[in-house]
Amino acid sequence: MTFSIQDFGKSNAAQFANSVSIAIPASPSGVKIAEFGLSVVSGGQVVLKATVGTQATLGSPDILYTILRDNTIINTVLASDLTANKFNEVGFNYTDTGPSNGYFAYSILAEITNNISTNTANVIGPVSFSGISLA
């Protein structure tokens, strides 16, 4: 099967580690860490790629990353086993095969899913999120 590129979008909110400091809130109050817009053709698909660097500041937080198309959740990724004061870089990919024809905002939210009083973390970079619309 042959695909052609219809559009490309990206958000590079932070280029490298320690270039940003965004506190990650407790679930269900996620914080938006990256967003871009993308034109999609009906019947096409969108290949998404993300890299997020975090640092636990207390305990061992479980961080849930949620990918949204406009305001619809299309995928989630759970990062566990973080240790206090350690840098962790998470990379993940997802192919969105459900969009209709139109222009959509793709975004990533981050939230801590275990006890926030004993587990905290910050997004410290890098934060990179991109997508290619294929038809």
Domain count along the chain: 1
Confidence of residue 31 (pLDDT cuts 50, 70, 90): very high
**Which of 17, 28, 24 lies closest to 51 in space, CA to CA?**
17
Both tokens of residue 32? 């938006």
Read off the CATH number of the domain in which 71 is found: 2.60.120.40
Is the pLDDT score of 14 beyond 90?
no
Confidence of residue 82 (pLDDT cuts 50, 70, 90): confident
pLDDT at position 16 is 83
Q: What pTM does this model have? A: 0.94
Q: How many CA atoms lie within 13 A of 72 on its CB side?
A: 7
67-86: average pLDDT: 92
Is the pLDDT score of 1 beyond 80?
no
Is the distance from CB of 123 to CB of 20 less than 8 angstroms?
Answer: yes
Is the pLDDT score of 33 beyond 90?
yes
Contacts of 120 (CB under 8 A, 6+ apart): 23, 24, 56, 57, 58, 59, 61, 112
**Which of 112, 109, 128 lies closest to 120 in space, CA to CA?**
112
